């Protein structure tokens, strides 16, 4: 149907999003070092391991499967994949650079030229089709050595290693790339500090003090990235990336309303408040005190605070998949799963096959609130429905459920734009099927492009277009009027 009411700006950035560790494969090719993501097994063990004391640094393939090692073999299929993105009409393509491809250990002085060459090729391939690259500098991985030998982001030394990495990336690609994101879903460390912060229980712990220290170091590193980018070219824009789960009070009980306010501050806003406003928010002491901590427990220097103030991010990017509800008075015990964090079941919402609550209105609320709060452009860099797809006898994949999900969320973005929020783009997650971050498996698919590969790593790797491919192509060509 044609939606005449939704008017997206002419230069709206339609596209799709992926991450190196979930699609590239080629995990040990051309001098790439291992990353923390390579050490995470597939299947149920994946998230248990983040809590347990048995993290396997040796990467023992006889013990676990490591689906990231193959990904969807984008390392050897990038031309074909980008050609398909171009056919859909992408204006932008969000992908991440694997830090350990550029600095295999993370602490070297000189980068790995072969790793840089791979991204030269990916970027040039995008530009060939007029697709603007949007680069995530760190998407749920860091060189494994930095987690194992340095203890992850709780160690201040990582700031200078990251700085060196960012400098190399900006100097190499800054004349071709306009948008960079610093740390993917930086706030997700409150639930799973292993992927983004490299904090492992068997290596000094993932306790809250370490998580807050790691965040602080990442905030400083984010400001340094902004400085490096702006020194190179003041027009480059650097954004933060927040996992945003719109949060509702379960009912009008003031206790639940207050708990919801605090949940919003602690989960949805804390990291963004520092990265966008350039200072720790007023509620920081209350948040720290939940874990018996004060600012004195953290290593925060006056120089750090000055840097945060001087180099906030230029725009805000979010992932949005679902909303959550907060209930503290014990009137319901029904819960749902979620994008790294679940919550109380909201009786007004349907859930996905993975029990994530589907809530397009929550996206409109998120965008309205974020724009009110920060007054900076907002980029929705992840959104989508993880589902099991069926390939019919005729080879086609009729994924109307995905189209329904995307349609309702795009509509919500249009409504938020009409509300006055400045939303600059939309890159649905896993525009091509890839390895799931939470399950480490292939069968949870988000793509508009199907990849023939199963959870056991078997398949031809053949790419085929789903029904949603043709639908999204039309959405883009009509600038969101056809939904």
Strand 315-319 and strand 246-249: the pairing is unpaired
Cβ nearer to ligand BGP, comparing 8 with 64: 64
Q: Is 429 in the site for ligand BGP (CB under 6 A)?
A: yes
Phi/psi class of residue 480: alpha, beta or left (left: φ > 0; alpha: ψ in -120 to 50)?
left
Q: Is 98 in the site for ligand BGP (CB under 6 A)?
A: no
Contact 3, 414 (CB under 8 A): yes
Q: Is 437 in the site for ligand BGP (CB under 6 A)?
A: yes
Strand extents, DSSP E, 22-178: 92-96, 132-138
Element (H, E) at 16: strand 13-17
Q: Is 185 in the site for ligand BGP (CB under 6 A)?
A: yes
DSSP annotation string for 140-183? S--BHHHHHTT-GGGSTHHHHHHHHHHHHHHHHHTTT--EEEEE
Contact 318, 239 (CB under 8 A): no
Token pair recorded at residue 328: 């503290």
Stretch binding ligand BGP (CB under 6 A), from 40-48, 413-421, 431-439, 467-475:
431-439
Bridge partners of residue 432, in order along the sequence:
449
Cβ nearer to ligand BGP, comparing 18 with 256: 18
Nearest distance in Å: CB 245, ligand BGP: 10
Q: Is 314 in the site for ligand BGP (CB under 6 A)?
A: no
Stretch binding ligand BGP (CB under 6 A), from 64-72, 328-336, 362-370, 432-440:
432-440
Binding mask 99-128 for ligand BGP (x = CB under 6 A): ------------------------------
Nearest distance in Å: CB 419, ligand BGP: 25
# binding residues, ligand BGP (CB under 6 A):
16
Cβ nearer to ligand BGP, comparing 164 with 192: 192
Q: Is 438 in the site for ligand BGP (CB under 6 A)?
A: yes
**Residue 85 and residue 405: Cα distance in Å, rounded?**
20
400 is catalytic: no
Bridge partners of residue 351, in order along the sequence:
357
Contact 36, 20 (CB under 8 A): no
Helix (H, G, I), strand (E, B) or coil at 65: coil
Stretch binding ligand BGP (CB under 6 A), from 108-116, 208-216, 435-443, 473-481:
435-443
Tell me which of 148, 444, 445, 463 binds ligand BGP, using CB under 6 A.
Answer: 444
Cβ nearer to ligand BGP, comparing 111 with 386: 386
Token pair recorded at residue 11: 């230069």
Nearest distance in Å: CB 434, ligand BGP: 8
Binding mask 229-268 for ligand BGP (x = CB under 6 A): --------------x-------------------------
Q: Give the residue from 158, 287, 176 showing the smallest Cα distance to 225.
A: 158
Sequence-distant (6+) residues with CB within 8 A of 153 are 142, 196, 197, 198, 199, 213, 214, 215, 217, 218
Q: Is 339 in the site for ligand BGP (CB under 6 A)?
A: yes
Helix (H, G, I), strand (E, B) or coil at 78: helix
Cβ nearer to ligand BGP, comparing 24 with 185: 185
Q: What are phi and psi of 94, to 5 degrees?
A: -95, 125
Nearest distance in Å: CB 79, ligand BGP: 23
Tell me which of 19, 92, 406, 432 binds ligand BGP, using CB under 6 A.
Answer: 19
Cβ nearer to ligand BGP, comparing 13 with 19: 19
Q: Is 320 in the site for ligand BGP (CB under 6 A)?
A: no
Q: Is 24 in the site for ligand BGP (CB under 6 A)?
A: no
Separation of CA 440 from chain center:
15
Contact 246, 319 (CB under 8 A): no
Q: Give the residue from 39, 71, 48 showing the smallest Cα distance to 430.
A: 71
**Active site residue: 141, 185, 237, 382, which one?**
382
**Residue 445 and residue 286: Cα distance in Å, rounded?**
39
Contact 141, 21 (CB under 8 A): yes
Give residues 376-405 in contact with ligand BGP (rule: CB under 6 A): 382, 386
Contact 196, 21 (CB under 8 A): no
Cβ nearer to ligand BGP, comparing 155 with 188: 188
Q: Is 357 in the site for ligand BGP (CB under 6 A)?
A: no
Tell me which of 155, 184, 190, 275 binds ligand BGP, using CB under 6 A.
Answer: 184
Cβ nearer to ligand BGP, comparing 244 with 270: 244
Tell me which of 35, 319, 324, 346 binds ligand BGP, using CB under 6 A.
Answer: 319
The Cβ of residue 221 has, within 10 Å, a number of other Cβ atoms equal to: 24
**Residue 111 and residue 455: Cα distance in Å, rounded?**
34
Nearest distance in Å: CB 444, ligand BGP: 5
Helix (H, G, I), strand (E, B) or coil at 328: coil
Q: Is 315 in the site for ligand BGP (CB under 6 A)?
A: no
Cβ nearer to ligand BGP, comparing 335 with 438: 438
Applying CB under 6 A, the residues found at the interface with ligand BGP are 19, 22, 140, 184-185, 243, 319, 339-340, 382, 386, 429, 436-438, 444
Active site residues: 382
């Amino acid at each position: 149907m044609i939606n005449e009411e939704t008017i997206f700006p002419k230069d709206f950035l339609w596209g799709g999003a992926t991450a190196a560790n979930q699609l590239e494969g080629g995990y040990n090719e051309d001098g790439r070092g291992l990353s923390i993501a390579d050490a995470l097994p597939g299947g149920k063990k994946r998230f248990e391991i983040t809590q347990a004391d048995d993290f396997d640094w040796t990467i023992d393939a006889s013990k676990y499967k490591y689906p990231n090692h193959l990904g969807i073999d984008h390392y050897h299929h990038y031309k074909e994949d980008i050609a398909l993105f171009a056919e859909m009409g992408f204006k932008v393509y969000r992908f991440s650079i694997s830090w350990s491809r550029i600095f295999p250990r993370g602490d070297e002085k000189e980068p790995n030229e072969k790793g840089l060459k791979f991204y030269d090729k990916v970027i040039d391939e995008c530009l060939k089709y007029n697709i603007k690259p949007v680069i995530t500098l760190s998407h749920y991985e860091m060189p494994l050595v930095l987690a194992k030998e340095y203890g992850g982001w709780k160690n201040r030394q990582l700031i200078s290693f990251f700085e060196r990495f960012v400098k190399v990336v900006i100097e190499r690609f800054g004349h071709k790339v306009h948008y960079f994101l610093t740390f993917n879903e930086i706030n997700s460390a409150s639930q799973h500090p292993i992927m983004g912060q490299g904090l492992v229980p068997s290596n000094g712990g993932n306790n809250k003090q370490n998580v807050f220290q790691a965040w602080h170091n990442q905030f400083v590193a984010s400001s340094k990235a902004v400085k490096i980018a702006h020194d190179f070219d003041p027009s480059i824009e650097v954004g933060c990336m927040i996992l945003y789960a719109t949060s509702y009070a379960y009912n009008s009980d003031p206790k639940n309303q207050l708990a919801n306010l605090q949940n919003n501050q602690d989960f949805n806003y804390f990291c963004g408040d520092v990265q966008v406003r350039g200072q720790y928010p007023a509620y920081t002491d209350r948040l720290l005190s939940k874990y018996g901590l004060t600012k004195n427990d953290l290593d925060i220097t006056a120089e750090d605070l000055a840097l945060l103030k001087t180099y906030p991010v230029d725009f805000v990017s979010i992932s949005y998949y679902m909303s959550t509800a907060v209930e503290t008075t014990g009137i319901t015990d029904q819960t749902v799963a979620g994008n790294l964090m679940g919550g109380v079941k909201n009786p007004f919402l349907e859930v996905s096959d993975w029990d994530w609550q589907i809530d397009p209105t929550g996206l409109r609320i998120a965008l309205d609130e974020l724009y009110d709060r920060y007054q900076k452009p907002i980029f929705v860099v992840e959104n989508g429905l993880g589902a099991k797809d069926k390939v019919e006898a005729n080879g086609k994949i009729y994924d109307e459920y995905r189209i329904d999900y995307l349609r309702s969320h795009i509509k919500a973005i249009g409504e938020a734009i009409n509300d006055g929020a400045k939303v600059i783009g939309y890159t649905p997650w896993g525009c091509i099927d890839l390895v799931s971050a939470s399950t480490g498996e292939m069968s949870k698919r988000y793509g508009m492009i199907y990849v023939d590969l199963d959870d056991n790593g078997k398949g031809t790797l053949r790419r085929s277009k789903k029904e949603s491919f043709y639908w999204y192509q039309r959405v883009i060509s009509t600038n969101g009027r056809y939904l």
